[in-house]
Structure 1
Amino acid sequence: MNKNYIKKIWCTDLGLSPFSNNQFYNILECIIIGWKLIPMPNKSEYKPHLVIYPLWENTFNKCMDSPLLLTPMKHKGIDLCVSYDEEKENVHQITAYCSKIIELGKDIHSTTFISYLKENFNNPNVKSNFLLQIKLFRLLYGIYLYLDKMELAENIYTTLKYESCLWDKEIFYYWYGKLDTWIDSMSNLKNNREHFIANIQKNSKEKKNT
């Protein structure tokens, strides 16, 4: 099947906007959420991944530097792989199956959506990789700040400070720089919530204009 047609099916079925040939997103208040179809090496197949980017960084490009969540769609505990030659009817069935996940993101205020995000901490890949844990913590922290749930945001911040004692400092420095500086930057988000909200509003407008 033509890749442009595959893109059309995914966007139409899930009500998403194309960002590229294999990425389809929507703005959900303080985040960008959607699906990324990642090609498999040396195979005519792709894996659908649920993906979430923040909207509170200083620039839109910075927001899109790296997703805070990138998790493969699973069926019966196994990563879902889809052939580029899959019949159209089957692709519609796959998008319908995926919509059960994306529906969780229709309301960022939903406890079901937050619970789904937290469940990702049980993912073996996340459990064994503190860098992925950091991303999830950042995602939850940002959402709580946006929702003005300051006590929950403070709990995340406290957990981050505690967990940071267990992280490999050299690996952390490679990705984020000095740990103390990074921890301070997380605190600054909380202490400068007006700027945090202003960034979301600014980046949301830029995304809509792209």
Structure 2
Amino acid sequence: MEIDKTIKKKVVEDWLNAFPLLSAYNQNKLYKIVGPCLIGIELIKSPFADNYSPYFVIYPLWKSDVKTNLKYPILLLELKNKNGFQFDIPYAKHSIFFEDVVYSVKKQIQFLFEKNISLEKLMSVLDIYSRKPPLSAAPTSYLQAIVQEAKFKIALFVGVSEAQDVLKQINNINWDENHFKACKVDLNEWLQNLQTALFNRTEFLKHIEANREDKKMAKLQSSELTI
């Protein structure tokens, strides 16, 4: 059954009022730009009922274009209620549950309410995410490497020395080369590409700026990524 558009609009308005630093990218994606990333909340409708669940997301802004950036999130984290279960909110009863939802989200993702975000805090969020299932089950896999590469790119946005610190950590990991091959990625080439990126930081920054200036992106609020 199609959900009434008025109800959907009210749901988005309530989320934007509760999280004033986010902007509506579309009717279920609420983002802000933080340095080289998009950070925010997605309200994902259940395929089985007229319910939705909020997810915390982080996307890159350093890939070829906006569509490619939004294809796969760096982080997709289900937000949970006080009992540790994923929220499953009926659209028709949204107003009844919303206060408790906002309270829980504030406790889980505090920096959604901070104007500017430190590099240390953003890295910490990614570190915690990388140590949770399913990533924790394969700490040397290519899936884990994707998160570590994101940390490197975020650090590179801030500065070369910050990126070098992350790259050193990456080089010290005994990566599962077979898993890289299974994902059609050459481990040595991947490592070399990270090293090369250090020398091409100016182009990297220009590319991010071009994506940030996209028509839809330019409408979003933005925060500084601080040291």
Pairwise TM-score range, normalised by the shorter structure: 0.7 to 0.9
Cross-structure match for 2:9: 4
Instruction: Tell me the distance in 1 between the aligned counterparts of 2:86 and 2:198.
Output: 37
- Distance in 1 (alpha carbons) for counterparts of 2:86 and 2:36: 28
Contact preservation (8 Å) 2:152, 2:166: yes
TM-score scaled by structure 2? 0.78
**Deviation of residue 100 (structure 1)?**
3.5
1:145 matches 2:167: no
Matched, 1:17 2:23: yes
Pair 1:119 & 2:119 matched: no
Higher-helix-fraction structure: 1
State yes or no: 1:199 paired with 2:207. yes
**Letter of the aligned partner of 1:128 in structure 2?**
A
| CA distance in 1: counterparts of 2:104 and 2:36, whole angstroms | 25
Q: CA contact under 8 A between 1:35 and 1:50: conserved in structure 2? A: yes
- Structure-2 separation of matches of 1:132 and 1:98: 26
2:225 is matched with which residue? Answer: none
Structure 1 window deviating more from structure 2 (76-85 vs 103-112): it is 103-112
Deviations along 1:37-88, one digit per CA (max 9) or x if unpaired, are: 1222212222211111111123222222211111101233322222212241
Query: How far apart are 1:14 and its partner, in Å?
Result: 0.7
Q: Which has the higher contact order (CA 8 A, sep 6+)?
A: 2
Q: Corresponding residue for 1:79?
A: 86
User: Percent identity, aligned pairs only?
Assistant: 21
Unmatched runs of 5 consecutive residues or more in structure 2 = 221-227
Cα gap change, 1:85/1:156 in structure 2, threshold over 3 Å: closer, same or farther? farther
Partner Cα separation in structure 2 for residue 143 and residue 18 of structure 1: 23
| Deviation per residue, 1:167-206 (Å, 9 max, x gap) | 2522x11xxx544443333333222111111112221121
Secondary structure (helix, strand or coil) at the match of 1:79 reads coil
1:36 maps to 2:46: no
Instruction: Report the CA distance shift for 1:81/1:134 in structure 2 as closer, same or farther (over 3 A).
Output: farther
Q: Does structure 2 retain, via aligned residues, the 8 Å contact 1:18–1:24? A: yes
Please provide the CA RMSD for this pair: 2.4
Which ranges of structure 1 fall in alignment gaps of 5 or more residues?
none
